[in-house]
Every structure is written in C-alpha cells, then in structure tokens.
Structure 1
Amino acid sequence: MEFMKKYLLIIAALFSLTSCLDNKLDESFKDINEVKRWENIEESYSVYAGEEIVLAPQVVLTIDSLNPELEFEWYVGTELVSTEPTYTFMSNNIGTHNVTFCPIDKKSGMHFNKLIRISVQSQYETGWMVLSEEGNKSILSIVMGKKEETEDKVEYLNYIGVRKDIYPLHNDGQSLGSGPRKLVEHYVQDDYATIPGEIMVLQQDQPLELHGFSMEREVFVSDEFLVGIPSNFNVVDATQSASGGYLLNADGTILYKKNYDLEAYHVGTYSDLPLFDGKKFKSITPSIYPQTPYLLALDEENTLYGIWEKESRPTGDFYYNAELAPFFTEESDVDMSLFQNIEGKVIGSGFHHSDSYVTIINQNGKYLMNNYQTYPSGSRGNRSVKILESRIHEMSASMFTDFVDMAVLPYRDYMLIASGNTLYFHEYYRDNFKEGVVKTFDHKITSIAFKDFNPYRHEANAHVAVGLENGDLYIFEIDDDDMTKTTPLFETHDLGKIVDVIFKYSSWGDVKYGYF
C-alpha cells in the first residue's frame, strides 16, 4: 500500500512538471517576436550604373513594435556590407543584385530577412537613339529608358531624360564624324547572350561601331577589312545576321564579313571583293527571326532575292558563305511580276512575321501593297525562296505625296507611313485594310521608329518615335483599337536636323520575343 502511494505521488509529480513545462513552453512561444510588416521598402528597384539609392526600411514587429531593441546587418549577395539601420547601394556592375536587410531582435537573437532585388542597368541600355546633323557634323543622342514595375508587378518602360551629343563624353572629347546617314543595332544572336548589342553609325566620314553600354568606339568599319578597303567604299546601309555582316555600298555592291565566333564581335573581316561578282542592289531588308535564314534584297533590275547564308555557323569557306536565292512559286494565283523585274518603283519593304514581308510598289501613281509569305527551299548550292501566298491591295496615293519613311509593326498588323509632316497608318493583315492619319506635326518628318511589344508577353500598346527636320522628337503610344488615338510619353527639342531614329533593344532576346 505504501509502495502504491509512492507510485501515485511520482505520477502526480510528473503530470505537474509536464503541465508546468507546457505552460512555460506556451509562454515562450507566445513571447517570440515576429515581423508584422515591412515599411518604406520595395521588393525591387531599378537604377543606372553608378547611381546611388538609399535603402531605409522599417520593420514593425509583433512585440515592442514602437521601440524594438534591434541590431542590423546588410548583405549584398553573401557579403556583409553594413551594420547600420540604412544602407546606400551603388554599383557599376550591370545586372541584378540581391541585397538582404537583416534586423536582429537583441532580446531573443531572432534574425529577420528582407530580400531586395536591385537591377543595375547602363544609362544607355535601352531607349531611343537619335542621329542628327548640325553643320554637317554627326550628333548622337539618346532618350534614356528605364525598365520599371508597378505595384502590381506589371513591367513598363519609363522615359526619364535625354542626353545630347554623347559620343565625345565617352571618347576623349573626339567628334563622331560628319555626313550622318543611318543607325544600325546588331546583336549576338543568342537568347541567353549577356553581351549588349552594338551600334553601327553610318556616315560619309568613317562609319564606326560603338559599345552598346559605354558608347565607346569599338572599331572603325574600315579597319575590319582583310586586305584594305575597296576604292569605292561608301556605305549607305548595313545589316548583321547570325554569322555574317553586310554593307550596302553607294554603288549597289554588297560587301560581306563572316563572323568566326557567334558569341563575340569583330572576330571576322570583310572581303574587299563584293558578293555575287559585283551584282548591284538597291536595298537589303533583314528579318529578326532566326528561323528565316535569308535577307530580302532588291537588285537594280527590281527583282527580289533572298541572300542566304550557306551555314548557320561559320565555316572555313570565307568568300562564298552567302548565296543568292531566287524567288519562285507553285501557286497559280501568285503574280510573279510583283517579284521579278517589278514594274514601277519599289518604295520599301519590311518583315512582319517569320518569312513574311510587305513590299510597297508605285506603278504610275498607283500604290500596291504586296503582302507575301515565303518559305526556304532547296539545298546548299541551289537555294531558293518559295512564295506560298501573295495578297495585293491598292493603297491611297495621298499617303505618298511626299513620302519619307515606312515601318511595319510585326505584332500590330499595321504599318506606319510618313509623308511630309503627316504620319499615317495602314493595316496590312486584316481584310478591311483600314487606313487613316495618326498625327500631324508642325514640321517635316525625317525619320520614324517603333518599339513593338509582344502582346502575349506584355499588355502594352506600341511605342512610336517621330523625328522632325527642325530637331524635335516626339514619343507616344498608339491605341491598338483606334490608331488615330495617341498618348504622349516624352518629347525633346533642339537635337539638330534629325536624320535617323531607332529603338535601342540591347539584346537579341528583347528583339526576338518583343520584350521590354
């Protein structure tokens, strides 16, 4: 009986101890501090290289929310960079940086972490580049764009300022050159490439290429020839492909360079011998789509060809890495007279979908839009371009009374036409072919450009830039549902006589997929 009493007393004591422990544990858990909310801090920021941003977050805890006893740690990546309540971030390294704010509860030793992503971009990474002329002097300017997010995580492009005549700032005060003609951006054609696109400046004086982020001169184009430049070297247009570069000379000949490294620039040289035995061309039109293995070219006899690169990757065959591919069709309703020995004047061409182009032809004051889909055909040494479909539509002649420029927007199913001081639109893909006036300006238009967002990736209307003869530049958004409605985004003035405007994408992925 005595043993049983002792046994019961031990059990009771154990129950009492367990109850006390439970109560203490409950109290302990109740006393643990937690984050109630973060204040004065965003999930992400976007800054330019060299630009400072002061981070001064506040943490509200569940206990001692008014006067918490805290210590602080700041990490960039895994490196401890500060133990102060605030941190000033600055970096010249382009890319996304992970910054962690770590307040520490001194009472409990609990650490709380807040991850902040900071995107550092070059001030020249994206935006609108403008080539203009002042006293025959070439001037390069940029409207800077910054990629930002709304509170709902919707990306958008914000234009924040303009920098005029930027070349001397980054090239020891030297002038860019004279006789400005055109801007061309080209890229390492790899979806994951981190090398920025380069800017080729075409001008009467030495054409040259600039680094896409620093705007420092990379090379004079004349220095990239194997055995010296041709005596008639005078470049009026240029384009780059995955494995080669093309220069259209003023005399109509095309000079070719093969790239020996697809993930770098300036590792190939131009031949002084023109392609195709010196055959002459009026224009070359590239496609952004890698599955289109040819450029569109119009020869001096008004016949369209594809300039086909024999290999998707460079080979040892330097001089003959490009092949001239004639157009043909097996469709009875395709009018080949609109492709070969075309009657009249070809106003211009532009791509809009993979292997698909629009060409506008003036036949004695009658303006025809030829919208055609093609397909690569043949094998190496016997390449051709097959026409699958051709749709012809007559456009209003009034849009071409003082024709200046045209642009085909691949994601919007309409093109823009600049004539005099008026910007027009014309649908090329819809059956009703609606057309009309987008905007009229006070001075003559000299150049138009666009940034067309992929609607499957971004819910954004196209952005358009219009450069004027008097040096004004207007950037606006065109309403998808009513192209006569526009929303102003940015304007700047006194840029000199504007010669050319382009949107600067900086990377092949942005171009190919219609990213910001």
Structure 2
Amino acid sequence: MRRLQIIWILLLPFVLGRCYEDKGSYDYKEMNKPQVAGLEGSYAVGLGDELDIRPEITFPLNNDSGIKYEWNVGGKIISTEKNLYIPQYSGEIGTTYCSFNIINEAENVTYMNTFNLRVSPTYSVGWLILSEKDGNTSISYIRPKEQEKDGKAEYTFEEFPDAYFKNTGEILGKSPVKLMEHWCFNYSVMGEVLVLNGEGDCVELDGGALTKKVAVKQEFIGEAYPRGFKAKDATFSFNNSYLISEDGKMYSRKSEDVGNYHTGLYGQEPVYVADSLSIKFAIPAKFMNAYHMLVYDGYNRRLIWIAYDTYQPGKINPLVYAADPKFTNLGDMGDKDLVYCGYYKVSDFATSGYFALLKSDAGQYYVRDFKLYSYIFSAMVTDNYEMEFPGASLIKPDSKFLSLPLRKYFFLSSGDVLYYYDKATLEKAPKRYVGFDGVRITSIQSNKDNNQIAVGLENGKFYIYDITDKSLAGGEPQLVYEAETNFGKIVDVIYKYGTLLNYM
C-alpha cells in the first residue's frame, strides 16, 4: 500500500499538467508608465504669490500620445497643463493634499503623484511699518524671502505700501503711536495687530489680511473710551490684556475664552493698587516663559509685575523683594527713573532676564542687568550688575533703544547715528554702526533670529542691516535691503511673527 502512495505522488504533477489545457489567447503589452522627476513632496507659497511647478516626465516607450494631465488641489482640478503655473495663487490658506495626475487614455490608467501645498497669508512673517503719511496713519508691510545661492543665504523683499488703505479703502486713523502683535492661545492662528492712534480710533487688525477686526472702543463696556483716555501703550497675555493711557491710567480686560480673540471687555475704571498707580510704559517679555508681565509705574518709580499662572492670572503686584543695598531697589528706585528696559531669554523656570537703562535726578545714566523670578504669590530679583553707562553722552531725549533678546548687544540711536554696545565687555564705550546724514532715526527693531536690524527714519526711508558677529566685527555696516517706497514719517517698526508657534 505504501508503494502505491509513493507512485501516485510521483505521477501527480504529470496528471495535473495533462488535465490543464490553456485555451486562452493573450496579447502581452508593455505598460507605458511615466517616470516623474522634479516634483517635490511639499511646496510653500504665499497668498498672491507665483506658483510654478515644472516636473520632468519620461515615458519608457518614448510615446506621449494620448496623455493628459491634471493638477488636483484639495479635490479640485486647477489646471490640465503639463506644468503648473499660476502668476498669483489665490487658493485656501493652510496645508492641502494635492496630486499631479498623468492620464493614459489608451491604457485607461491614471498615475498619481502626490504632494502637499502650504499656503501662507499675504501678510504672514516680515516687517510692519507704522507711519504718518498725508496727515493720516499708514501701515505698510515688507515681506522677506530667503533663498540659498552658492551655499549662501540671499534675501529678496517685496513691499506692500499703505496696505490697510489699499485693502479696505478706509483711513486707519490719525497721529499714529505704536504697533503691537499679540496672540490668543492657539498655536496655528495668525496673531492680530493692534494699531494705537493718538487721534481717531485705535484698531485691531486681522494679522493675515491687514483688515479691521474691531475698533478698540467697541471693546470697552458701553462701546466708548473712558473719559480722558488717549492710547499710549499696551500689553497682552492669553488671560488678560491691558491698555495704557497717556495720563498713566491702565485699563484691564479678562478673556472669557483664551483660545479666541475679543472675548471680554475693558472696564471703564482703571486698575488700582496701593499707593496709586501711573503707568509710564509696558516692558515686553515672553510671558509664557517668564510667568509674568512688567509695567513701569513712573509716579512711584517702581516696577509692577502682573501674574501669568494658573493660580492668579492677571493679578497686579508691586515688586516687593529683599533688595541688595548695592543695587537700586526696583520696587522703589528713589532718585532714579527707568528710561528703558528690554528682556532677554533665560532657561530658568518662571524667569526672564532684563537689561535696563536708568537715569538719576542728577542726570547720570546707569545700565542694570537682572533676572526676575515670579510664581504664584512671590517675586525674586537676582542682580547681575549695575554701573554707569559709558555711552551716556550719546543719549538724547528722542533716542531709541533696543536690547537684543538672544544676543549680548544693546543698540541705541543718537539723532541720525546708530550705535551698539557690547554687554559682554561692559566698560567699553558704544561703537558707531551707521549714520544717516542728518536724518533722525525714529524706530529700530530686530528680526526673530536677532541677526538683522531694521531702521526707520523721520523722512520715510527704511533699511535692514546685517548685525551678525561677523558683520559687526568688520567695522562697516552691511546693508541687506533699502526700501524703494517712501513711507512718510515712520513712527514705529515691528517684526511680525505671524503665528504664536513662530513667536515662541
């Protein structure tokens, strides 16, 4: 029996082969599958910018007859050409799934080549310029583009002069004072831009479109400004925002929804703390890291810290701490007035570093470096140094100041000349960087990486300079860009971060 089983196993392939008879008739044809090169996995384009994608396509059979093309963006066919060229792209803002489809009608086959397209708003990241032009407030935008050429970064810039008026046909106000970008607690939402005016209304702008979101007076209870209110400064966290009037009064608003804008109202009565309060200016800092905001009470010559934490967000506190007698008490500066204070980034929890310029009643100037820790109910100051400023003779009533948050340089203007002071050397006097032939400097600001500085002039000219260590060491100013537009009398320049994620 075992011998019979073995015989059947050996004969089985031959039996099956005889039983199967292929009666079909087949025509085997080589597929003309295209090979696509030059198509990236993702593309980025600004709204209104040129979109130009030119893939290289080869066919194995060297035959492209019967071939059609489709560019599918988010489910919509926007072109049927081989190359995708749109002079001014107007699609949806954000990231969209796309495909470049090659259709072989003879084979009845579609070959899909997928990619992502990220579209940013027209006014996303760049420079905003606030100026007075023809008697009115004007806001303009400079959009930078960085590209690599021969292993080096090159910048090109596009100008959008008087952007608000061109977008809306409306006058933005009169007597411009200040610009400020701020965010709600949503990392991907575009920041809004507050425009402070001395005459007419102050306005909140959509940061991506530079169009009006709301007039600031509508954000007060009763949709009217408090009596005597004249905007001078502002400061924001996610939970609270504060407007400062020229008379030193500060008005607060609590957000009802930190993930959205305009969800609370400012009160008609100013905030109050012990010993009265007269705010001279707000001190910028990254409150998300510092867990506080600072304002300067000029009447009492003291710093006021505003809490940003889960226990008492928005609580306003006079700065009380055990002061070292070798340093000016920042909670009671006595015979000194705070002229300027800029923050710098530190890694400590709930802490920010600050570089301050003080002026005594006798007319002497001092520089002060300190760190401020604040959390829940207490604040603590760590002093680094306080000394007479070796560049005191350069300071004028209209001087502009900028301490870089990421680097150890302090820039100051003296009339028509820009100087910089190396905080690492301390005793050495500031060095001249660039002059403007008798035209007064009205605003200075750095970009996100602190490797460029923008300079706005009283005559409407706008410049961007390279301030890398290499450039400063070279001894000659390195001009990156000179705007073609004359923007009128420039009042303020800020670097626009766009989203909260980019700001952080």
Query: Equivalent residue for 1:323?
Result: 316
Which of these residues, 387, 392, 403, is aligned with residue 386 of structure 2?
A: 392
Q: CA deviation at 1:431?
A: 6.6
- Compute the displacement of 1:335 (Å): 1.4
Amino acid at match of 1:210: L
Q: What does residue range 3-82 of structure 1 map to in structure 2 within 5 Å?
A: 38-39=37-38, 41-51=39-49, 53-61=51-59, 63-65=60-62, 67=64, 70-79=67-76
Q: Which amino acid aligns with 1:466?
A: V
| Residue deviations 1:460-480 (CA, integer Å, cap 9, x gap) | x62211000111000122123
Cα distance change on mapping 1:487 and 1:32 into 2, 3 Å: farther
Q: What code does the residue aligned with 1:480 have?
A: D
| Counterpart position of 1:408 | 403
Q: What are the superposed Cα offsets for residues 110-133 of structure 1, whole Å, 9 maximum, x if unpaired?
A: 654433433222221222111111
1:318 counterpart residue number: none
- Match of 1:271? 267
**Separation in 2 of the partners of 1:402 and 1:231?**
29
Paired residues for 1:192-231 under 5 Å:
192-227=187-222, 228-231=224-227
Give the whole-Å Cα distance in 2 for the aligned partners of 1:426 and 1:107: 72
Mapped partners of 1:373, 1:217: distance in 2: 38
Q: In structure 2, what is the Cα distance between the partners aligned to 1:127 and 1:72?
A: 36
Supply the AA of the counterpart residue of 1:262: V
Q: Match for 2:489 among 497, 503, 508?
A: 497
Distance in structure 2 (CA, Å) of the matches to 1:95 and 1:410: 30
| Normalised TM-score (structure 2) | 0.82
CA contact (8 A) 1:479 1:486 kept: no
Query: 2 CA distance for matches of 1:153 and 1:289?
Result: 37
Q: Which amino acid aligns with 2:367?
A: M
2: CA distance, partners of 1:288 / 1:9: 82
Unaligned runs of 5+ in 1: 18-23, 316-320, 454-460
Match of 2:23? none
The corresponding residue for 1:121 is 120
Contact 1:208 1:220 in 2 (8 A): yes
Aligned residue for 2:501?
Answer: 509
1:414 deviation in Å?
Answer: 1.4
**One-letter amino acid of the structure 2 residue matched with residue 295 of structure 1:** M
Deviation sequence 1:185-215 (CA, Å, 0-9, x none): 111144x232433333333321111111222
Q: Is the 8 A contact 2:297 2:304 kept in 1?
A: no
Q: Which runs of 5+ in 2 are unaligned?
A: 1-6, 21-25, 346-350
- Superposition pairs of residues 94-173 of structure 1, within 5 angstroms: 94-104=93-103, 112-146=111-145, 150=148, 158-171=155-168, 173=169
**Residues 506 and 287 of structure 1, relative CA distance in 2, 3 Å threshold:** same
Q: Which amino acid aligns with 2:395?
A: F
Task: Work out which of the residue numbers 337, 340, 346 in structure 1 matches 2:338.
Answer: 346
Indicate conservation of the 8 Å contact 1:350/1:358, yes or no: yes
Query: Quick check: 119-128 or 257-266, which moved more?
Result: 119-128
Cα pair 2:452 2:468 within 8 Å, conserved: no
Tell me: CA distance 1:200–1:429, structure 2 relative to 1, closer, same or farther (3 Å): farther
Q: TM-score, normalised by structure 1?
A: 0.80
**Residue 175 (structure 1) shift:** 1.1
Q: CA RMSD in A?
A: 3.6
Shift of 1:314: 9.1
What letter is aligned with 2:316?
Answer: E
Matched, 1:366 2:336: no
Q: How far off is 1:345 after superposition?
A: 3.6
Alpha-carbon shift at residue 499 of structure 1 (Å): 0.8
Distance 1:152 1:110, change over 3 A: farther
Secondary structure (helix, strand or coil) at the match of 2:266 reads coil
Percent sequence identity over aligned pairs: 25
Q: Is 1:451 aligned to 2:447, yes or no?
A: yes
Q: 1:457 corresponds to which residue? A: none
C-alpha distance in structure 2 between counterparts of 1:153 and 1:511, whole Å: 27
- Distance (Å, rounded) in 1 between the aligned partners of 2:242 and 2:161: 29
- Partner of 1:456 in structure 2? none
Q: Deviations over 1:343-401 (max 9, x none)?
A: 23422011112421111012345321101011115x4xxx3421123312433224324
Q: Post-superposition shift, 1:219? A: 1.5
Structure 1 letter corresponding to 2:502 = D
Q: CA separation in 2, counterparts of 1:164 and 1:49?
A: 17
What letter corresponds to residue 488 of structure 1 in structure 2? L
Structure-2 residue corresponding to 1:85: 82
From the superposition, tell whether residues 240 and 313 of structure 1 become closer, same or farther in structure 2 (CA, over 3 Å): farther
Q: Sort the Cα spacing of 1:314 and 1:223 in 2 relative to 1 into closer, same or farther, 3 A.
A: farther
Distance 2:243 2:336 in 1: 26
**Is residue 261 of structure 2 the alignment partner of residue 262 of structure 1?**
no
Aligned residue for 2:285, secondary structure, equals: coil
In 2, the alpha carbon distance for the partners of 1:269 and 1:94 equals: 30
Name the CA distance, whole Å, in 2 between partners of 1:303 and 1:279: 10
Q: How many residues are treated as equivalent by the alignment?
A: 474
Q: How does 1:231-242 map to 2 (within 5 A)?
A: 231-242=227-238
Q: 1:480 to 1:184 in 2, by over 3 A?
A: same
- CA pair 463-402 structure 1, distance change in 2 beyond 3 A: same
- Measured after TM superposition, the shift of residue 51 of structure 1 is 4.5
Alignment-derived partner of residue 4 in structure 2: none
Counterpart contact for 1:210–1:218, Cα < 8 Å: yes
The aligned amino acid for 2:480 is: L
**Cα drift, residue 273 of structure 1:** 1.0
Residue identity in the other structure for 1:270:
Y
Alpha-carbon contact 2:236-2:242 (below 8 Å) kept: yes
Secondary structure of 1:276 counterpart: coil
- Compared CA separation, residues 312 and 158, structure 1 to 2 (3 A): farther
CA shift for structure 1 position 33: 5.8
Kindly tell me: are residues 107 and 92 of structure 1, through their superposed partners in 2, closer, same or farther at Cα, counting changes over 3 Å?
closer
SS at match of 1:355: strand
Structure 1 letter corresponding to 2:236: Q
User: C-alpha displacement at 1:38, in angstroms?
Assistant: 1.2
Task: Note closer, same or farther for the CA distance 1:140–1:189 as it changes in structure 2 (3 Å cut).
Answer: same
CA shift digits 1:423-477 (9 cap, x unpaired): 1112335677674222212211011111132xxxxxxx62211000111000122
CA distance in 2, matches of 1:9, 1:266: 83
Structure 1 window deviating more from structure 2 (222-231 vs 124-133): it is 222-231
1:305 to 303, 308, 320: 303
Distance 1:69 1:294, change over 3 A: same
Letter of the 2:405 counterpart: P
